[in-house]
Structure 1
Amino acid sequence: MLNRPVPQRSPEELIALRRRYLNPTLSLSYQEPLKIVRGEGAYLFDQHGQPYLDMVNNVCHVGHCHPKVVAAGAAQMAMLNTNTRYLHDNLVEYALRLTETLPQSLSVVFMTNSGTEANDLALRIARAYTAANDVIVLDHAYHGNSPSMIDLSPYKFNGRGGRGKPAHVQFVPMPDSYRDANAQDADYAESHAAHIDNAINRIHARGEKPAVFYAEAMLGCGGQTVLPPGYLQQAYARVRAAGGVCLADEVQIGFGRDGEYFWSFQSHGVVPDIVTMGKPIGNGHPVGAVVTTPEIAAAFVTGMEYFNTFSGNPVSCAIAMAVLEVIQEEKLQQNALETGAYLQQGLRQLAQQHSLIGDVRGRGLFLGAELVRDRESKVAATAEAKRIVEILKTQQILLSTDGPLDNVLKIKPPVVFQRSHADQFLQALGDALHRL
C-alpha cells in the first residue's frame, strides 16, 4: 500500500468508480463529464492538455494556482501548521489586513474553514446578541450546506429533496427588476422592502422576535440578480427597528468582484452588522471568515469557548494574505470593473442580435444573461440555456446556468479574466446563439 502511485484512469473508469464508492448526490457537470487535471489563470486543462476557459469558477478568485498564493501556502506548510491556541503572527496580521478593507465598525474577526461555516457561526453570534431565534431571508437564496444553512436557503428547502420552510425562517420575495411588473416604479425598492414588515409580523405572531436578516447584494442562485438601489437600506432599517441585526453574505461576491467596490454591500450605501466570507478568500484553499462589531462580538462571550481546530491556522492565513496582496498588486478590482463592463457591453450587443437573450445584468465580473423564448411573455428558455452550455463546452469554454427557472447563464470567472478572454467567449456565445 505504501508509495503506490495514483493510477491515471479514463473518465469512464472514474465515473464508474464514483458511482460505486461515492454518494450519488455528488453531481457532475456536463452530459459528458470532463477530467480536469491542471489549472492556470483563467483556464482549466484536461488530461490531454486541452485548455478550457473557465467562466464560472469564482472560487479561484485570483486565478487557478496563482504562483504567489501557492508559494505562500507551501512555504508556511513546510514550516508550521497548528491551531490557534498558540500565538502566531499570521492570524492577527490577517485580521488587521482584512478589517482595513471594511467599514471601521466591522473590526472583530472570526476565522472559519468555509463560507458555510461562516454563515453558520454568524447565526450563533446573531442569536447570542439579539436573544432572538427567527431569521429572515430572500427567496431563492443559498447560504450553505450545513443543516442550519439548508434551513436558511429557499434554494434548497424549496427545491428538489427539500422539506419546505422551517417554522423559525421567514422568506421574502426576491426583487426581480426584469420580471416584476412594477420594477420601473419609483417606489419599487421601498414597496419590496415592505415585505420585511410582513415577515416580522409573522414572527411576532409566533411569539418570537427576529434575530437576523441574511442577504446577498447580488444573488447567484437567484439568477445573478442585483438588488435594486435603496432596497437594502429600507430592509436594514426595518429589521433593526424590530431588534434584529443585518448580515451581508459576501461569500460569492466579495473581494473586489463587484469592480466598483471591494465589498458588494458597499454599492448599496449600507453598513451591515455582520459580514460573512468564503470561496475567494483563500483562492480555493478551505478558509472563511465572519467579521462583526465589537458590541455584537462581546455578546458571544458567554463562557462557552469557540474553538475550531483548523480555522485561522498559519497556512490558511498565509494563503489568505497572499490573495489580498495579489488583488492589490495586480489591480484585480479595477480589472473586474473594466473587463466586466466590456463583457457586459458585449452581451448587450448580442442581445440586440438575438431575442433569446431577454436580460443582461450584474456588476463587475458577476454577470447573468437570462434566456427567454419570447420577450413579451418572458417564457424561460431553460432547455436552450442548457444547450448553450453544452455547445460552449465543445468550444472549450466552461459555463453554467442558475436562477429560479434555471435559464440564466451565470458568468463569474476568476477576476484575472481579460478582454481577450471576453472576446473568445462572446464569439463562441454568438455562434451558439446562431445555431439555436
Structure 2
Amino acid sequence: MEQLPKDETIALRNKYIGKPCQLFFGQDPIKIVRAKGQYMYDEKDEAYLDCINNVAHVGHCHSKVVEAGYEQMKLLSTNNRFLHDNIVICAKRLVETMPEKLNTCFFVNSGSEANDLAIRLSQIHTGNKDIITLEGAYHGHLTSMIDISHYKFSLPGGIGQKDHVHVASSPCTYRGKYNTLNHKLEDICDLYTEEVREICENIVNKKGTGVCAYISESMLCCGGQIIPPPNYFKKVYAHVRAHGGLCIADEVQVGFGRVGTHWWAFQLQDVVPDIVTIGKPMGNGHPVAAVITTADIAESFRKTGVSYFNTYGGNPVSCAIANAVLDVIKEEDLMGNAIEVGNYLFQECLKLKNRHSSIGDVRGVGLFLGLDIVKNREKRTADPEAASFIVAQMKEKRILLSVDGSKNNVIKMKPPMVFSKANVDEVVSMLDRILEQLEQTSPLSRDTDKIPNGVERKV
C-alpha cells in the first residue's frame, strides 16, 4: 500500500482514532514505516535506535520469526479448539524453563488477558477476592486490570481504589517509602515486607476471609525500573501464603531472558510463584501470551465445570511464532548478550553518574535499566522536567528513550535483546553531551538548538 504523507496520517488519526489513544512523542510523533533489529525507520528512511521496545524482543522483523509465521499462515490459521502440534510444543518448551511445579499452560492474546486470567484462577482456587498490588503497578488495560493497577486508578481521572484492592508500598530502596536516605539497607526489606504482612492480617481480621492473591512484576517497569531488595519476594510470598493467598509473578515486560542470568526475573530472588504471566516478548510483536500455573490450580478451575475458551489464544500461527522466538533466544545466545551488553551498559551509566549530578541513581539488571534524574542528589529531589527534556533531545538525535516512575523522572531502557556495545556507546555518548549542556543551562533556557550535534550514526 502506498504510504500517506505524514501530515495526512496525523489528520486521519485525529479524525478517526479515539483521543485517549496515546502516541509516543505526542506533540511531535514519529511515523515509523519499517524496522530491523534494534533500529526503526521513519517515512524519510531515517534510522532511530530503539532503546525502549521490549516487544520486539529478538529484534524487529527477525527473519526466522517472520518466516515461521508466514509458513504456518500458508497452511492453517484457526482457533485453538482444534488439535494441533504447535500449541503443545510451545507449552512444553515454556514449562521446561520454569520451576518444576509450574507445569500447566493457558494461552491468551495479551499480557492484560494473562493477568486477568491469573486473577480469575486465584479467585476460583482460594475462594477469596482481596488482591494485594503495589504502588505504581500496571498490569494491563482490561477493566479488571485497571482495578489493580495503581499506576492508572490513582490518576486524577481514574476510578479510584476498590474495596477489594490493597496497595503495598513500592519496594524501591532509592526513592520509596523506606529508602537508604533514612534506613539501613539491611532493614529495608523487612520494613516493606512487614507492610504486606499487616495488609494480609487486616484482610483476615476485618473481612473474615483470606487473601486471594498478591500480584507484582518481578521488576517494576512503570513504577520506575525498580529492582526489589534481596529476599523481598521470598518474605512476601510467605506472608501471603500464610493468609490463604496465591502469588502471581507478572513477567509480561521483564521475562524471556531479559535479565540474562535466568529466563524469568522472579528467579533472581529464588522464589517459585503459584502463577506466572507472560506476554509482549513472546511473539516479538505478534499478539500471543500465556499463563503458567500448577496442576492443582488448573484442577480447581476444571472442577467448576466452566470450560476455558479463547478463540485466538494459542492458535497455530501464534504458537509457530512463539516457538521461533524461543529458538532465536537460544541459537543467538541472547541471554548471554543481555549479560555482556547489559553489564557494559550499567557500568557506562555509572560513569555517566559520576560525571553528572543530574543522575541520582542507576539501577538495572541485564537489558533492563533506569536512570533516576534529580535536581538535588543529596536530597534525591526528582526532576521530571529534566528527564522529559533529555528524552526529547535524544529523540531529536534519533535515539528513542522514555520516561516513567511515580515522579515521571526515570529514564527507561528496555531495548531489543540484540542491542550491542556499539549501541551502548552511542546512547551514552549522546546522553553525556545532553547532560553536560543541561547542567550548564537553566530550565527556562533549555532549547533544542543548544544541544550539540549527534555522534555519527552507524547503522
Letter aligned with residue 305 of structure 1 = S
Residue 279 of structure 2 corresponds to 278
Question: Residue 44 in 1 paired to residue 40 in 2?
Answer: yes
**Aligned with 1:406: secondary structure?**
coil
Correspondence list, 1:250-269, <5 A: 250-269=251-270
1:230-379 aligned within 5 A: 230-301=231-302, 302-379=304-381
- Secondary structure (helix, strand or coil) at the match of 1:34 reads coil
Partner of 1:3: none
- 1:70 counterpart residue number: 66
Which amino acid letter does the alignment assign opposite residue 240 of structure 1? R
Query: Per the alignment, in what secondary structure is the counterpart of residue 372 of structure 2?
Result: strand
CA distance in 2, matches of 1:33, 1:160: 25
Partners in 2 of 1:64 and 1:52 — Cα distance? 12
* Contact 1:279–1:287 (Cα < 8 Å) also in 2: yes
- Residue equivalent to 2:189: 189
* Range 413-422 or range 14-23, more displaced: 14-23
Instruction: Quote the offset at 1:11 in angstroms.
Output: 2.1
Map of 2:451 onto structure 1: none
Q: 1: CA distance between counterparts of 2:306 and 2:296?
A: 17
* Amino acid of the structure 2 residue aligned with 1:241: A
Residue of structure 1 in register with 2:130 after alignment: 134
Name the SS of the counterpart of 1:256 in structure 2.
Answer: coil
Distance between the aligned counterparts of 1:415 and 1:115, measured in 2? 19
Letter in 1 for 2:184: Q
CA distance in 2, matches of 1:109, 1:137: 23
For 2:446, the equivalent position in structure 1 comes to none
Match of 2:447 in 1: none
* 1:177–1:183 Cα contact (<8 Å) kept: no
Q: Distance in 1 between matches of 2:379 and 2:242?
A: 39
Matches of 1:37 and 1:89 in 2, distance apart? 34
Please list the CA deviations of residues 182-235 of structure 1 after superposition, one character each: whole Å capped at 9, or x if unmatched: 453322212210111221133221333211100112100110000000110000
Give, in angstroms, the shift of residue 95 of structure 1: 0.6
Counterpart of 2:6 (choices 2, 11, 16) is 11
Quick one: distance in 1 between partners of 2:395 and 2:190?
42
Q: Which residue of the other structure, out of 26, 33, 40, is the alignment partner of 2:29?
A: 33
* Distance in 1, Cα, partners of 2:185 & 2:257: 30
Of residues 120-129 and 192-201 in structure 1, the stretch that sits farther from structure 2 once superposed is 192-201
Q: Distance in 2 between matches of 1:18 and 1:59?
A: 23
The alignment partner of 2:376 has SS state of coil
Q: Is the 8 A contact 1:176 1:183 kept in 2?
A: no
Unpaired runs of at least 5, structure 2: 439-459
Task: Kindly indicate whether the alpha-carbon contact (under 8 Å) linking 2:367 and 2:417 is maintained by their aligned counterparts in 1.
Answer: yes
**Structure 2 equivalent of residue 147 of structure 1:** 143
* Aligned pairs (5 A) from 1:92-111: 92-111=88-107
1:86-114: per-residue Cα shift (whole Å, max 9, x none)? Answer: 11111111111111111111000000000
Distance 1:401 1:298 in 2: 42
Q: Deviations over 1:138-193 (max 9, x none)?
A: 11010000000000100000024212111010010011111223453322212210
Post-superposition Cα deviations, 1:379-408, rounded to whole Å, max 9, x if no partner, equal 111111111111111111001000000000
Provide the rounded CA distance (Å) in 2 between the counterparts of 1:387 and 1:140: 22
Q: Secondary structure at the match of 1:342?
A: helix
Counterpart pick for 1:61 among 57, 62, 71: 57
Change (3 A) 1:183 1:296: farther
TM-score (norm 2): 0.92
Point out the more displaced range, 281-290 or 184-193.
Answer: 184-193
Aligned-residue CA RMSD in angstroms? 1.0
Q: Which moved further from structure 2: 23-32 or 105-114?
A: 23-32
Code of the residue aligned with 2:340 in structure 1: it is E
- Report the equivalent of 1:394: 396
Structure 1 segments unaligned to the other structure (5+ residues): 1-5
In the TM superposition, 1:410-425 aligns within 5 A as 410-425=412-427
1:34-92 Cα offsets, whole Å, 9 max, x none, are 11000100000001111100000000100000000000000000100111221111111
* d(CA) in 1 for partners of 2:115, 2:317: 22
The Cα shift of 1:356 comes to: 0.1
Distance 1:429 1:183 in 2: 31
* Contact kept in structure 2, 1:182 and 1:188, CA below 8 Å: no
Contact 2:137 2:150 in 1 (8 A): yes
Equivalent pair of 2:258/2:368 in contact (CA under 8 Å): yes
Residue in 2 that maps onto 1:157: 153
Corresponding letter in the other structure for 2:49:
L
Amino acid in the other structure paired with 2:169 = P
Please report how far the alpha carbon of residue 434 of structure 1 lies from its aligned counterpart in structure 2 after TM superposition.
1.3
2:430 alignment counterpart: 428
Cα deviation, 1:259-278, whole Å, max 9, x if unaligned, reads 11110000001000100001
TM-score by length of structure 1 reads 0.97
Q: Look up the equivalent residue of 2:427 and give its one-letter code.
A: F
Q: Aligned with 1:225: secondary structure?
A: coil
Q: Which amino acid aligns with 1:324?
A: L
Which letter maps to 1:27? Q
- Distance of 2:73 and 2:182 partners within structure 1: 55
- Aligned partner of residue 137 in structure 1, secondary structure: strand
Q: Say whether the 8 Å CA contact 1:137–1:170 is kept in structure 2.
A: yes
Counterpart Cα distance in 1 of 2:118 and 2:414: 25
Query: After alignment, is 242-251 or 16-25 more displaced?
Result: 16-25
Amino acid at match of 2:125: Y
